[in-house]
Amino acid sequence: MDVMPKPEILDPQGQAVAGALHRLGVAGVRDVRQGKHFELDVDDAVDDETLQRIAGSLLANPVIEDWQVTRT
Amino acid sequence: MRIGVITFPGSLDDIDAVRAVRLAGGEPVTLWHADRDLHRVDAVVVPGGFSYGDYLRAGAIAARAPIMDEVVTAAGRGLPVLGICNGFQILCEAGLLPGALTRNVGLHFICRDLRLRVESTATAWTGGFTPDQEITVPLKSGEGRYVADDTTLARLEAEGRVVFRYVGRAPNGAMGGIAGIASENGRVVGLMPHPEHAVDPLTGPSADGLGLFTSLLTAAATR
């Protein structure tokens, strides 16, 4: 599960990373947004709806974050 | 009046909150995060600190602690609840207050005394202040920037639920300069600065913070 700050939420951590890249002399990086990545080891019986509930009720705060669930 | 103060693993300011309750004339009752019993308290303080190490998000794990189930249920019945700093973050994460607290603009942890304006005296915790009264209390937080969507912000302003606002520019970049807000019924209040650290001029910048605790006790005494 990837959890990212919503586009409209200021991300000062991402900005600090972007600033550091700029100081390293890396050109062409317009913006950096910092988020979280969770890896869950779940039984096959755990359905998508449950995974969405896990993300929306604990792993992400829907007020400030978006999330994406990917099964691999 | 029995006022509960919750201790989570990583709480720092529970002892000062207990002291503030006592100095205000209340009977402090210590509550434990893993308990499901509010011990017949008449109000609850959710104190500051770094509950559960701020893992996941500040306040996120604490908001799902057993004691918080009881606090949420009791708040639904009108129990006065005060969340300070990490406690404010916990109340937002628990859904008792709208919005969220995010990393300070500029990323610095801010630790200093500052001026707040009391914007609403129509809450369980601010009835003893005069409208627009300015108070001096410490702020000490790294994730104190209040954010909410435009609809929520407009609603908070329209309903007079912004309880405390930073005087001058908000040092953490909080939207609308918001330092503290209240629930719809005014019983639940959360704020980032620390009134419990400003209850005695010997140990704090003022005794202004005592007003939150005495407000509650006075209201209870005259009811």
pLDDT in tens, B94-119: 999 999 999 999 899 999 999 999 99
In angstroms, the Cα distances linking B55 to B17, B62, B85 are 23, 10, 16
Chain B CB contacts of A7 under 8 Å are none
The domains of chain A are located at 2-68
Q: What is the distance between the alpha carbons of residues B146 and B100, in angstroms, rounded to a whole number?
A: 6
Q: Which domain holds residue B31?
A: 2-222
pLDDT tens-digit series, residues B33-85: 999 999 999 999 999 999 999 999 999 999 999 999 999 999 999 999 999 99
User: Which residues, 6 or more positions from B45, have their beta carbon under 8 angstroms from its beta carbon?
Assistant: B3, B4, B5, B6, B17, B21, B81, B82, B83, B84, B87, B196
CB contacts < 8 A (A, B): 34
**Cα(B190)–Cα(B89) distance, rounded to whole angstroms?**
8
Question: What pLDDT is attached to residue B223?
Answer: 67
Domain containing residue B121: CATH number:
3.40.50.880
A9 shares contact with chain B (CB less than 8 Å) = yes
Two tokens, residue B58:
């500040």
CATH number of the structural domain A2-68 = 3.30.1280.10
Percent of chain B clearing pLDDT 70 (strictly above): 100
Biggest CA-to-CA distance, chain B: 45
- Cα separation of A4 and B144, whole Å? 19
pLDDT value at residue B220: 84
pLDDT at B9 over 90: yes
**Three-class SS state of B25:** coil
| Residue % of chain B over a pLDDT of 90 | 97
Closest residue in chain B to residue A17, using alpha carbons only? B107
Q: What ipTM did this prediction achieve? A: 0.86
What does the pLDDT read at residue B221? Answer: 83
